[in-house]
Amino acid sequence: MRISARRISQLLLLAQATAALLIGWALLGHGAAPWAALLAGVGAVVGVRLAINLNNFALAARFGSATPDGFRLGPRARLRLVAEEFCASMLVSNWLMARASAATRIHPGSACPPVLLLHGYGCNSGYWTHLTPLLDAARISHATVDLEPVVAGIDDYVPAVERAVQALCAAAGAPQVVIVAHSMGGLVARAWMRTHGHARVARLVTLGTPHHGTALARLGLGQNAVQMRLEGTGKPSDWLRLLADSEDATARALVTSIYTHHDNIVSPQTSSVLPGARNVEFGGIGHVALGANPRVLAQVMREISAVAAQSGR
C-alpha cells in the first residue's frame, strides 16, 4: 500500500500528540497538576524531536567537509543555527506537510517564466509555503508537485515532472520554466533533464541538493535513499555517477546550486557544489531551513528575476 508524505505527517502528528497525552496522563496518576502533566508530556515529545535534530547535526559534522574560515560560527550563531533548523523541521513535518497538496497559480502577463517547485526526500509541496507568497507578490506563475511514492526510485518521479512542466507551460503560455528544487528534488530535476532534455528549462535552482551524495542517506529508506548515498569509499553511488556522466556543459550551465556549509543532512556539505554550475554558498543555515530562511529566499528570487532580465521579457 502506498502512503503519501501528507498522511505520514498526519500520522506523525497523531503519534506525538498521543505520546504527550499518555505521558501527561501517567503523571496525573502520580499526583502532578494538570498543567504540569501536560507541559511535561509536550516537553518530552519536543525533547525527543530536538535530540533527533541534534543527532543529525552530529552525524553531518562527523562526515562533513571543512568549513571555510569566513563561514565559521561562534557559540551564539551555532545556537541560532540549531534553533532555526529545529523550528523549520517541526513546522514542516508537523503542520505544513500535513495540510499541503499540489497546486498551480497562474498570473497572466507575468514578466518571468513560470516556476515549478520540487520538494525533497520524504516531504511534499508544503515545503514551499514560505516561497509561494513571494512568487505571488511578484506575480510569477508557479506550480508545486507532490513526488509520490515517498520511497520510489528517483527516475520514477520523472513522468510526474514531465506532466507538470507541460501543464505549467500550457497554462502560463510560456515555452520554458524555472525549476526550483530542494534536496532530492534537484536530482529529480536533473534526471528529468536527462530523459527529456533541457530546451524547456530557463534555469534550475537547487537548494541543498546532494549532487555527489550524502553519507546520511545510508539511514534513509527506499530506492531514492540508496541512489543518494555517498559510498564508504567516499564516492557517489552508481546512479549519481551515471547521472553526472549524462550531462554536458550546456546542461550544467543552466544550474544554480545554492547550499550551506552547515547543512545537517547533506554531508559532506560540498557535495552540493556542482562543477560547471553557478554555486552560491551560505553559512549558518540548516537543511530544512533553506526553504524558509529570508537570505536564501531572497537569493532564489534574484535568480528567478535574472532569468527574466536575460531573456528580455
Q: Of 55, 70, 99, which residue constitutes the final position of a domain?
A: 99
Average of per-residue pLDDT values in the chain: 95
Residue 108 pLDDT class (50, 70, 90 cuts): very high
Question: For the residues 304-308, what does the mean pLDDT come to?
Answer: 92
Q: How confident is the model at residue 231 (pLDDT cuts 50, 70, 90)?
A: confident
| pLDDT tier at 311, thresholds 50, 70, 90 | low
Do 87 and 143 sit in the same domain of this protein? no
Residues 271 and 206 in one domain: yes
Say whether both 126 and 274 belong to one domain: yes
* Per-residue pLDDT at 163: 98
Kindly state whether residues 236 and 254 are assigned to the same domain.
Answer: yes
Question: Given the C-alpha cell 553519507, which residue does it identify?
Answer: 215
Single-letter residue type at 282: F
Give me the mean pLDDT over the 26-49 stretch.
91
Q: Please name the residue that has the C-alpha cell 542517506.
A: 217
How are the residues of the chain apportioned to helix, strand and coil, as percentages rounded to the nearest 5? 55, 10, 30
Domain boundary among 99, 134, 150: 99
Q: Which domain holds residue 81?
A: 5-99
Task: State pLDDT tens for residues 233-265.
Answer: 678 999 999 999 999 999 999 999 999 999 999
Residues present in the chain in total? 313
Question: Are residues 52 and 135 part of one domain?
Answer: no
Question: Are residue 37 and residue 147 in the same domain, yes or no?
Answer: no
Report the pLDDT value the prediction gives residue 14, as an integer from 0 to 100: 95
92 & 212 share domain:
no
Do 114 and 142 contact (CB within 8 A), yes or no? Answer: yes
**What is the bridge-based pairing of β-strands 115-118 and 142-145?**
parallel
271-282 residue pLDDT tens: 999 999 999 999
The last residue of a domain, from among 99, 122, 143: 99
pLDDT score, position 120: 97
Do 48 and 130 lie in one domain? The reply is: no
8 Å CB contact between 110 and 141: yes
pLDDT of 113 strictly over 90: yes
Distance CA 19, CA 22 (A): 5
Do 26 and 132 have their domain in common? no
111 and 199 belong to one structural domain: yes
Contact partners, residue 266, CB within 8 Å, separation at least 6: 60, 183, 208, 209, 210, 214, 216, 259, 272, 287
pLDDT per position as a tens digit, 114-129:
999 999 999 999 999 9
Q: What pLDDT is stored for residue 234 in this prediction?
A: 77
Nine-digit cell string for 100: 499541503
pLDDT in tens, 181-198: 999 999 999 999 999 999
Q: Stretch 1-13: mean pLDDT, rounded?
A: 86
What number of other Cβ atoms are within 10 A of residue 41's Cβ?
24
pLDDT at 313 over 60: no
CA distance 11 to 153: 23
- The verdict on 290 and 161 lying in the same domain is yes
Q: Are residues 12 and 159 in the same domain?
A: no
* Total domain count, the chain: 2
> Residue 312: is its pLDDT beyond 60?
no
Q: What is the CATH number of the domain that holds 249?
A: 3.40.50.1820
Give the rounded percent of residues in the chain with a pLDDT score beyond 90.
Answer: 89
Q: Is the pLDDT of residue 155 over 60?
A: yes
Can you tell me whether residue 259 is helix, strand or coil?
Answer: strand
